[in-house]
Amino acid sequence: MTMLLRFVALSGLGWLCDMATFTLLVKLAGCPAPLANIASSYAGVTFVWFTSLKSVFQHSGPRGGRYLLIYWGYQLLSILAYSHILGLVAAALPNPLVAKIFITPFNLVTNFIFMKTLTRTMRAP
């Protein structure tokens, strides 16, 4: 299985965690979609970080706390950007869950590119 396919598979599991949290926040807690997206996304991206370091990016060294902070920083910017886009798309659609599904592939690709670049930096001497 290629790197991207392994990343997609693990991201799919992270996305399920993200979507479950998002759904609970929107449907049960009445949280606005952009805010729910910020909160739910962190659960998913943290899962993807820890599961894909070794299995996708073949990083077998320490988890690199500093790199996790860089990843979370990037994710904050990414989540804010995609949450804004989610708000725009959700305003045009009858269901915020459909908007979340719509933006997911774009988010997945940018996350893969960033994590691939970051893990290459982790290997550099």
Range of the domain at 69: 3-123
pLDDT digits (tens, 9 = 90+) for 10-23: 988 998 998 899 89
At residue 1, the pLDDT reads 62
Structure token digits, residue 69? 């902070």
Domain total for the chain? 1
Tokens at 43, concatenated = 């659960």
Read off the DSSP letter of residue 63: -
pTM listed for this prediction: 0.76
Query: What's the pLDDT tens digit per position in 47-100?
Result: 898 888 878 887 766 656 778 889 999 999 998 898 889 888 888 987 878 888
Residue (of 38, 16, 15, 42) closest to 26 by Cα position:
38
